[in-house]
C-alpha cells in the first residue's frame, strides 16, 4: 500500500510518500511545496494545487493521511490553514483516494509514545524509522509521520471496527 502524508500549510506544505507491506514501512519520496510569501493567498493555493496534483500523479498513492484541523490561538492563521486543507482534501478526493485525518497529538504518540513530542524529536524519529537521517525539513518529516501513522493505526482501527459490528441476532417470536 502506498500512502501520501500531507502536513498542510499555505507557505510550506509538507508531503511524504511511504510504502507499507505487512509490518515493513519504506520511504519512497518526500518534499515541501514552498509557496511564495509575496503572492496573495489565492495564488499560493493555486500553486499548492498544481504541485500536489503532480505529486499524486507521480506516486499514485491509494490513501491520503492528513493532519486534522486543530484550534489555533490565531484565528487568521487557522483560517489560512483551513484553506490549505481544503485544497489538499479536494486533490485527494479528485484522485479517488481514501482520506484519513489524524490530530497532531495522535501522530506524535504513534511515533514517539507520547503526544507532546517536540518538532526535533519527531524529525529524529521519522529519520531513524525511514533511514533518512535527521536533516529533514520539519514539514516533510511531519508529512512522513502522518503516512506512517496511517500504516501503524489502520490495521488496529479496522480490527476494532469489525469487533463493534455485530450481526443482529434473530430471536424466535414470542408465543
Please give the positions annotated as active site: 7, 67, 139
Q: How far apart are CA 95 and CA 76, in angstroms?
A: 29
**Are 48 and 10 in contact, with CB atoms under 8 Å apart?**
yes
Q: In the 3-class helix/strand/coil scheme, how is the chain assigned residue by residue?
A: CEEEEEECCCCEEEEEEEEEECCEEEEEEEEEEECCCCCCHHHHHHHHHHHHHHHHHHHCCCEEEEECCCCCCCHHHHHHHHHHHHHHHHHHHHCCCEEEEECHHHHHHHHHCCCCCCHHHHHHHHHHHHCCCCCCCHHHHHHHHHHHHHHHHHHHHHHHHHHHCCCCCCCCCCC
Amino acid at each position: 500500500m502506498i500512502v501520501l502524508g500531507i502536513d498542510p500549510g499555505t507557505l510550506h506544505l509538507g508531503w511524504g510518500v511511504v510504502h507499507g507491506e505487512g509490518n515493513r514501512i519504506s520511504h519512497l519520496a518526500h518534499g515541501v511545496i514552498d509557496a511564495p510569501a509575496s503572492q496573495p493567498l489565492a495564488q499560493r493555493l493555486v500553486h499548492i494545487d498544481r504541485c500536489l496534483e503532480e505529486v499524486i500523479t507521480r506516486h499514485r498513492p491509494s490513501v491520503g493521511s492528513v493532519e486534522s484541523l486543530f484550534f489555533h490561538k490565531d484565528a487568521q492563521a487557522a483560517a489560512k490553514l483551513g484553506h490549505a486543507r481544503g485544497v489538499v482534501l479536494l486533490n485527494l478526493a479528485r484522485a479517488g483516494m481514501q482520506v484519513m485525518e489524524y490530530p497532531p497529538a495522535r501522530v506524535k504518540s504513534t511515533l514517539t509514545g507520547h503526544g507532546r513530542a517536540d518538532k526535533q524529536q519527531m524529525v529524529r524519529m521519522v529519520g531513524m524509522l525511514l533511514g533518512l537521517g535527521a536533516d529533514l525539513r520539519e514539514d516533510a518529516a511531519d508529512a512522513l509521520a502522518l503516512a506512517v501513522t496511517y500504516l501503524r493505526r489502520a490495521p488496529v482501527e479496522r480490527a476494532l471496527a469489525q469487533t463493534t459490528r455485530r450481526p443482529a441476532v434473530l430471536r424466535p417470536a414470542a408465543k
